[in-house]
Every structure is written in structure tokens, then in C-alpha cells.
């Protein structure tokens, strides 16, 4: 009598969902011009914590897709510098100028968390890719883009990164729990990687079901 091996359905579905990895495609966007160095938001020797928001306009990004990397440009300082309990969010917003109350800058939208790290270490010089999670925030290329960073605890060293000029485009407080902060006519000189999902190729549940009909 022949015996047939029965494969559990969950394993089969898992095998289908674990599709081959795909490479990211898209656009690398550099926003702003290098004006001066500034230790905000990586003010390790001058603050025990930080809540920071920065605004970039749709016209300067002009590309829809997942924001899979964000890079700061080193200007000066004493790397390596470590920052603890680092969390990062992105949010769509219709704000053209930031206000002192952090939550008001979401403009009714829900921020998407793209990083939660126990320790982030900035070392070397050049561009700092801070290592956000890919496939977490899908930029619509209609609204402006708000980034928020919070950290608490550090190694006592500040990193100065290049900033640019902007009208009420940055707000910060030296506490990760602050509700309000100082609004500045500055913005962050930044590099964003915007494009398709990276990692596993997206496969719909409907496609999986169709394979077993």
C-alpha cells in the first residue's frame, strides 16, 4: 500500500509567499544645498534626548514610492557617536511651515514608524545611512514629507551634519517626550532613496489561492 506524504497547507502557502528577492528600483533624491553644519538632531554632548521634525516639499522629491533609506551628510564632529532608543517616523502632511506643537504638524495624518533601535552609532565621515526599515512608508508624491526623530541617551559626542535653509521647516526640543519645540528657518540637507519594495517580492493572497484551485 502506497503512502502519500501530505504537506501542511500552511507550509505550502509559506513557500509561495516566500518569493525570490527583488532589487529595489527608484530614485535617489538629494534635497537642499549645503549651507552650514549643525548638531541638530545629533546633539550628543548638548542634550540628553531629542525630539526633532523636519519638512521637505513634494516639489523637491517629485517621486512616489517607498522611502527605503535616509542619509545625513557629515560636516564635522567626533565620530563615532552613539545614540540610544532611536525611533524614526515619516508622515504625509499638507503643512508648508511647521509650528511649535509637534503633533499639529501631522495635519491629521498618522505617522508610520520606520525605525526603533536600541543604539544607533554614527561613525566615519561622508553620508550616514541611519538604517531605517524598508517597505514601511509609501510616499504618495502629492503631500509634503515630514520626518520625526526621537532619541534618549547618548555617548556624549555630537555629530554636525550639513543643513540647508528653509522657512519654518524644522522644529526640535532637547527632550524625546516634549510636546512643543523651537521652530527654525532651517531644513536638513538630506538624501532619500525612494522606490519599489525591497526584499521579498509582493504576492497577493488572491494569487496564492488561485494556485490551489
- 100 and 17 share one domain: no
Please give the pLDDT value at position 45.
Answer: 86
pLDDT tier at 24, thresholds 50, 70, 90: low
Domain of residue 63, residue span: 27-197
Report d(CA 190, CA 52) in Å as an integer: 14
Please check whether residue 111 lies inside any domain of the structure: yes
Enter the C-alpha cell of residue 18: 516566500
Is residue 127 one of the residues assigned to a domain? yes
Tell me the residue ranges of DSSP E strands in 57-179: 65-77, 81-93, 112-122, 127-129, 138-139, 144-152, 159-173
CATH code, 186: 2.60.120
Distance, CA of 190 to CA of 56 (rounded, Å)? 10
Three-state DSSP class for residue 40:
coil
User: What pLDDT band is residue 203 in, cutting at 50, 70 and 90?
Assistant: low
With cut-offs at 50, 70 and 90, classify the pLDDT of residue 46.
confident
CA distance 93 to 91: 6
**Residues 151, 167 within the same domain:** yes
Per-residue pLDDT at 3 exceeds 70: no
| Block residue for cell numbers 554632548 | 45
Residue 99 CB contacts under 8 Å (≥ 6 apart), including other chains:
105, 168, 171, 183
Residue 84 lies inside a defined structural domain of this protein: yes
Query: Residues 71, 88: one domain?
Result: yes
Is the pLDDT confidence value at 172 over 50?
Answer: yes
Q: Confidence class of residue 17 from pLDDT cuts 50, 70 and 90?
A: very low
- My answer on whether 102 and 205 are in the same domain is no
Mean pLDDT of 8-20: 36
The DSSP 8-state label assigned to residue 24 in this structure reads -
Kindly state whether residues 41 and 144 are assigned to the same domain: yes
pTM to 2 decimals? 0.82
pLDDT of 202 higher than 70: no
Examine the domain organization and report whether 102 and 126 are in the same domain. Answer: yes
Check whether residue 98 and residue 164 sit in a common domain.
yes
**One domain for residues 15 and 84:** no
Say if residue 58 is in the same domain as residue 91: yes
pLDDT score of 30: 97
Domains contained in the chain, number:
2
pLDDT band at 79 (very low <50, low <70, confident <90, very high): very high
Split at pLDDT 50, 70, 90, the class of 174 is very high
Asked whether residue 147 is domain-assigned, the answer is: yes
| pLDDT reported for residue 167 | 86
- Is residue 65 located within the same domain as residue 153? yes
Residue 13 above 80 pLDDT?
Answer: no
Amino acid at each position: 500500500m502506497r503512502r502519500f506524504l501530505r504537506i501542511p497547507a500552511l507550509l505550502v502557502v509559506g513557500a509561495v509567499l516566500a518569493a525570490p528577492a527583488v532589487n529595489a528600483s527608484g530614485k535617489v533624491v538629494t534635497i537642499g544645498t549645503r549651507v552650514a553644519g549643525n548638531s541638530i538632531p545629533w546633539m550628543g554632548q548638548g542634550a540628553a534626548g531629542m525630539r526633532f521634525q523636519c519638512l521637505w516639499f513634494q516639489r523637491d522629491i517629485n517621486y512616489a514610492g517607498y522611502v527605503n533609506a535616509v542619509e545625513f551628510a557629515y560636516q564635522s564632529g567626533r565620530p563615532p557617536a552613539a545614540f540610544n532608543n532611536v525611533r524614526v517616523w515619516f508622515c504625509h502632511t499638507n503643512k508648508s511651515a511647521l509650528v511649535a506643537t509637534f503633533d499639529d504638524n501631522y495635519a491629521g495624518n498618522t505617522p508610520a514608524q520606520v525605525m526603533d533601535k536600541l543604539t544607533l552609532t554614527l561613525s566615519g565621515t561622508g553620508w550616514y545611512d541611519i538604517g531605517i526599515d524598508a517597505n514601511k512608508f509609501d510616499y504618495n508624491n502629492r503631500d509634503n514629507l515630514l520626518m520625526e526623530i526621537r532619541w534618549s541617551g547618548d555617548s556624549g559626542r555630537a555629530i554636525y551634519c550639513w543643513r540647508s535653509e528653509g522657512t519654518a521647516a524644522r522644529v526640535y526640543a532637547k527632550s524625546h517626550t516634549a510636546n512643543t519645540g523651537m521652530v527654525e528657518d532651517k531644513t536638513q540637507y538630506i538624501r532619500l532613496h525612494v522606490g519599489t519594495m525591497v526584499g521579498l517580492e509582493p504576492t497577493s493572497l488572491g494569487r496564492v489561492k488561485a494556485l490551489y484551485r
